[in-house]
A and B are shown apart, each in its own frame.
Chain A
């Protein structure tokens, strides 16, 4: 038994006390969970996605439970950049863990503007670029579905900020490795894999879709094997840090992602099920590393026995 394993995690320039974050859109702006779990123990909080202007999001209903998971069509309701900086960031600045701001746009220019505006804002430790949004200038196909469009977004953000930049990839593509390879040429700090999987559910009796927006994104344990495969494939093909996300609900899940090649992980929908999920992942991971005599979390990254 090694006494206390080193949990310090590097994702490019971003340094975390431990490798466990909470995923964008599942933790609001942090204060919603204050008092319900130990927010301060987290490696980082990733905020709900922020656009330049406030958005109201999609029609109700916006969530539907599915076997071992859920589908959401929240549609990126958020207070906009100014609303975020004025009303949400002050609370986040006071917590000791790192703050990663998730950003989204309708155009490459909107991503660039967000990066430029956030670059000078104290309390923002890094940005995570959500490219699973429709590209309004080009027929509404998502930025993340084409490697070259995805790369252009990454380059535009990189050009505007020296802060660490993560790009979060969508699994709704033919080859996530091709998108990853294109995106990392922009010299970003790391990749987050994966966002939700495009999905739909219908009430068999009434014939009505369960979501107001008809389709949405699947999350939760149901998508974990897809996410592990994505991390594994990208880790083998690319020289970059990977943040694994998708269905993580226990420390065993986190270890699985780390072995597949992730340097850090994000806990998403599992927080809805039990607010302390991410904290239990941190404690369990530390315990496991110590149990297997591993002196630092880094040593376990990519340790899959094939």
Chain B
């Protein structure tokens, strides 16, 4: 197991996308260096001086830099994530990571399907795969264009990005899985892996498409987490008849394991 660290890190940069999406850049070399795509961190306590909210928040790793910085993409959905989105540069925050079992990819072609903030681990995955000279296509869906993160940098590096929104404000007017089904029907090489992260109805639909076309799938699952380290058994799901901890045996599982 790669070593996880519990550290205090300085918030170097806060970038807002729309009113509900924020990208944090933390200086966290020990965590950034050890991280692989699909892993996450436990971020918190959100307010060290106050016991409410009590727990940390599991946050996927969006990316790392050569300078030891760690990027985290956060959607302000509940009270905790709303507090995080109000954080400002210079703040020092505690975090633990990298945690969990990430993506395993040694294929030439990568097809990524992200829904909402679920795009985060896929951006990190695309980043590392492009660096190895592999081909990546990212299908990215969200409710509205202002709830999407800017992926220009990834496109500049050669990743093909296709968007879908529920309201049609950008890209395909409809579901990201519509894009997937078109993509798989048109062409796909046998050396393709689909990696997906997003809401569970989306993941189910991705699985249906992949099994129809006989393509390998890895999915990153989400669940409420108390510890994030495998200690509390609070995040277990029954997967292939076994109680598996999403934070430890996951969050990335093979599609077959989860849906068959």
B150 CB-CB contact with A under 8 Å:
no
| Distance of A272 Cα from B43 Cα, bound (Å) | 11
- Cβ proximity bits B99-142 to A, threshold 8 Å, 1 near / 0 not: 00000000000000000000000000000000000000000000
- Cβ proximity bits A27-42 to B, threshold 8 Å, 1 near / 0 not: 1100011011100000
| Distance of A272 Cα from B232 Cα, bound (Å) | 9
Q: Taking A36-B4, A273-B44 as contacts, is the C-beta distance between A62 and B235 under 8 angstroms?
A: yes
| Distance of A25 Cα from B234 Cα, bound (Å) | 10
Partner of A32, one of B223, B227, B238: B227
Partner of A65, one of B4, B55, B238: B55
A63 CB-CB contact with B under 8 Å:
yes
Q: Which residues of B contact A66 (CB under 8 A)?
A: 54
Q: Give A59's nearest chain B residue, CB to CB.
A: B238
| Distance of A26 Cα from B6 Cα, bound (Å) | 17
A72 CB-CB contact with B under 8 Å:
yes
Chain B at the A interface: SS class: loop
A70 near B6: Cβ-Cβ < 8 Å: no
B56 near A272: Cβ-Cβ < 8 Å: yes
A275 near B6: Cβ-Cβ < 8 Å: yes
| Distance of A96 Cα from B242 Cα, bound (Å) | 33
- Cβ proximity bits A52-66 to B, threshold 8 Å, 1 near / 0 not: 000011011111111
Partner of B227, one of A59, A221, A272: A272
| Distance of A285 Cα from B156 Cα, bound (Å) | 55
Q: Which residues of B contact A272 (CB under 8 A)?
A: 55-56, 226-228, 231-232
Q: Give B79's nearest chain A residue, CB to CB.
A: A65
- In the complex, what's the smallest C-beta–C-beta distance from A169 to chain B, in angstroms? 21
Chain A at the B interface: SS class: loop
A221 near B54: Cβ-Cβ < 8 Å: yes
Partner of B96, one of A61, A78, A275: A275
B53 CB-CB contact with A under 8 Å:
yes
Q: Which residues of A contact B232 (CB under 8 A)?
A: 25-26, 28, 63, 72, 74, 272
Q: Which residues of A contact B51 (CB under 8 A)?
A: 68-69, 220-221, 249
A215 CB-CB contact with B under 8 Å:
no
- Cβ proximity bits A147-184 to B, threshold 8 Å, 1 near / 0 not: 00000000000000000000000000000000000000
Q: Taking A35-B3, A36-B5, A72-B232 as contacts, is the C-beta distance between A65 and B225 under 8 angstroms?
A: no
- In the complex, what's the smallest C-beta–C-beta distance from B36 to chain A, in angstroms? 17
Q: Give B242's nearest chain A residue, CB to CB.
A: A56
Q: Taking A25-B232, A275-B96 as contacts, is the C-beta distance between A37 and B227 under 8 angstroms?
A: no
| Distance of A26 Cα from B237 Cα, bound (Å) | 18
Q: Which residues of B contact A60 (CB under 8 A)?
A: 223, 235-237
How many A residues, CB 8 Å from partner? Answer: 38
A240 CB-CB contact with B under 8 Å:
no
| Distance of A272 Cα from B233 Cα, bound (Å) | 12
Q: Which residues of A contact B224 (CB under 8 A)?
A: 61-64
B52 CB-CB contact with A under 8 Å:
yes
| Distance of A57 Cα from B232 Cα, bound (Å) | 12
- In the complex, what's the smallest C-beta–C-beta distance from A187 to chain B, in angstroms? 33
| Distance of A67 Cα from B79 Cα, bound (Å) | 12
| Distance of A267 Cα from B236 Cα, bound (Å) | 23
- In the complex, what's the smallest C-beta–C-beta distance from B56 to chain A, in angstroms? 6
Interface residues of A in 101-145 (CB under 8 A from B): none
| Distance of A37 Cα from B237 Cα, bound (Å) | 27
Q: Taking A273-B56, A274-B94 as contacts, is the C-beta distance between A33 and B5 under 8 angstroms?
A: no
B29 CB-CB contact with A under 8 Å:
no
24 contacts between A and B (CB under 8 A): A25-B232, A26-B232, A28-B231, A28-B232, A32-B227, A33-B231, A35-B3, A37-B6, A48-B231, A56-B238, A56-B243, A61-B223, A65-B53, A65-B55, A69-B54, A70-B55, A72-B234, A74-B236, A221-B51, A269-B226, A272-B227, A272-B231, A273-B56, A274-B45
Q: Which residues of B contact A (CB under 8 A)?
A: 3-6, 44-45, 51-56, 80, 94, 96, 223-238, 242-243, 248
Given contacts A28-B230, A72-B234, A221-B51, 15 further A-B contacts (CB under 8 A): A25-B233, A33-B229, A35-B4, A48-B231, A56-B243, A59-B238, A62-B224, A63-B234, A63-B235, A65-B54, A65-B55, A269-B54, A271-B227, A272-B226, A273-B55
